Chain A
Amino acid sequence: MKILVAIKRVIDPYVAIRVKDDHSGIDDHNVKMTINPFCAIALEQAVQMKEQGLAQEIIVVSIGDDSCNESLRTALALGGDRAIHINTADFLSDNVTTSSVSLFTPLKIANVLAVLARQQDCDLVLMGKQSIDGDNNQTPQMLAGLLDWPQATFASEIKPDPNRDNPALLVTREVDAGLETLSVNLPCVVSCDLRLNTPRFASLPNIMKARSKPLTCFSLATFIDDNISQYPNLASLAKPSSQTIIKYSKPQQRSAGVMVESIDELIDKLTQEAKVI
């Protein structure tokens, strides 16, 4: 099995983000960046599947500006075999905010990944369930739709399905009602939830080894030129997105509360003042 893992570079989840005063975007200047936590879980899953002998090769891909290189090297140190970077830097015009939320929309990302999944002849695409910046939770489902492959989202357990004649995965999904198990034929797209695994840290020797692993970079323009004859859908990538972020604003702040001294006072406040119980 050949696995494609898509990773996104995002602002570190523990950083308190700041909306720019002119409402044009999020201040990401000198902010600590990291691999989106859900993508790290997807990568760990791929590495574990390779360790179990279920997968032969892990290809890691990231779409974004030059800085994605660093994330991809990290992914190689964590167990990826080779990496592909689709560099979107040349598609950034002056009036587009650099905030990764608006840079490249989920449908565009899914279109690129669909070409890569086919071109690289992958059996499984593993992705995070959502990126913690855009909070969209769309790209894996869109990719599955574009490829017309089955999808299993919010996975908390992935294993081969022994009861099927054709290659298939048994995926347990975290749904509102509890845990649902689906059997999906390969090739398929699986999006990973928090409880699937605990990602490992990269060891120093692995970081050193990662330097010599192959990392291929294409500018988005080259990628489109090279593949458009076979994948005419790529033409849409060069067009501006159909979505425009008109304004970013700060969420409404809750008014400051009060500290109470005792349960008696708390019950009194909740029954008499707030009237919620």
Chain B
Amino acid sequence: MDSAKVLIIAEHDQVNLSIATRKAITAAHLLKQYSDNVIISVLVAGCDCANAAEQAAYLDGVEQVLVVDDTCYQHLLAENIAKLVADIASQYTHLFISSSTQGKDLLPRIAAKLNVEQLSDVMGFTSLHSVVRPIYAGNAIAEVSSSDPYIVSTIRAASFDACNSSDSRAEIVHLDKAFECSSTRFVELQASESERPELANANVVVAGGRGVASKEGFVLIEQLADVLGGAVGASRAAVDADYISNDHQVGQTGKIISPDLYIAAGISGAIQHIAGIKDAKVIVAINKDPEATIFSYADYGLVGDLFELIPEFIQKYE
């Protein structure tokens, strides 16, 4: 039986690994259905990233952590990380990264350096060399096989659970490789500050659309999210109308999420939006239009004015 040597490219803020990285590790675990010999390594490239590397070493099933600690990796720029990964790739058969904006930015560049195709947004495997992935905004699922020497995949976080931590510590290997690039410079990050759980990993998401009608109206959505301990989402219409910032957008071109509970208020349910929420366990729709498309996807639908119903929900739930 073929063996699989998987390299997971970790995403982190130097201190903590992202949850999506732990989901990508779970995806690697699933290859064990097709091979008795699956070896999982994690690459932590960063600057002063010892803590993130230490965390990776205690993740279930991880055998080796490669740490490349250099100032040139501080902002995880695609240009130099792609060179680094291409440099060490020959020891692996599978290269995974989570399907976040960073994973999407980085991995195709690596694939091109290795002269192989990439498989994006993988939601499952059917062999060591074939995957299933959504196309056409999730309206079709393609099973794709690859004959490339590397299976290079971004892993769709909504399709996998995060891997657990373990008591055993994987071997940590330090690499001394710097690929400095001068043609790209990091200027700044305007991070959106929020006390609420991260949208991609929240158990409960309350989202508003055009029906919320104003920035002020979105306060209601935020209040309900807070009462339920959830994150705030939005449709493209709400973001375009500037009711809330774009990092809250859920859908084909925003975030794809799979919370236990998704409450859509004033969202009609365009296919591009549904693409982002289809995997939610329970979908609730509140909309005053009984014909809204969202009702055909909702487990529980309530027709009415969100400006009356949401305050009532908050009052009665508290």
Contact = CB atoms under 8 A, between A and B. Distances in A.
B10 interface: no
A17 B298 CA distance: 21
B300 A257 contact: yes
Contact of B120 (A135, A151, A244, A263): A135
A263 to B, nearest CB: 5
Contacts of B188: 180-181
A179 B190 contact: yes
Contacts of B183: 149-150, 184-185, 188
A176 B105 CA distance: 12
Interface string B74-98: 0001110010000000000000000
B137 A132 contact: yes
Contacts of B252: 132, 135
A33 interface: no
A261 B302 CA distance: 6
Interface residues of B, number: 89
B197 interface: no
A175 B191 CA distance: 9
Interface in B107-122: 107-113, 115-121
B140 A17 contact: yes
B72 interface: no
B140 A19 contact: yes
B255 A270 contact: no
Considering residues B78, B142, B247, B298, which has the most beta carbons from chain A within 10 angstroms of its beta carbon? B142
A141 B301 contact: no
Contacts of B116: 107, 242
B144 A245 contact: yes
Contacts, number: 257
Given A185-B184, A251-B278, A254-B283, A266 B300 contact: yes
B282 interface: yes
Interface string A24-52: 00100000000000000000000000000
Given A135-B121, A137-B120, A249 B143 contact: yes
A4 interface: no
B218 to A, nearest CB: 18
A183 interface: yes
A176 B142 contact: no
Interface stretch (B23-31, B38-46, B166-174, B310-318): B310-318
A156 to B, nearest CB: 7
Interface string A129-164: 110111111111111111001111110100000000
A26 B136 contact: yes
A103 interface: no
25 contacts: A13-B137, A101-B135, A106-B118, A130-B253, A132-B136, A133-B135, A133-B136, A135-B121, A136-B120, A138-B118, A141-B104, A141-B108, A153-B105, A174-B101, A175-B102, A178-B191, A182-B77, A243-B146, A244-B144, A248-B135, A251-B278, A257-B297, A257-B299, A263-B309, A266-B313
Considering residues A110, A250, A257, which has the most beta carbons from chain B within 10 angstroms of its beta carbon? A257
A258 interface: yes
A176 B108 contact: no
A86 B272 CA distance: 30
Interface string B210-238: 00000000000000000010000000100
Contact of B316 (A139, A246, A256, A264): A264
A92 interface: no
Interface string A159-172: 00000000000100
A274 interface: yes
B284 interface: yes
Contacts of B112: 107, 110, 141-146
A118 interface: no
A270 B284 contact: yes
Interface in B135-161: 135-148
A256 B299 CA distance: 7
B313 A150 contact: no
B301 A259 contact: yes
Given A132-B136, A145-B112, A184-B184, A267 B189 contact: no
Nearest to B130: A246
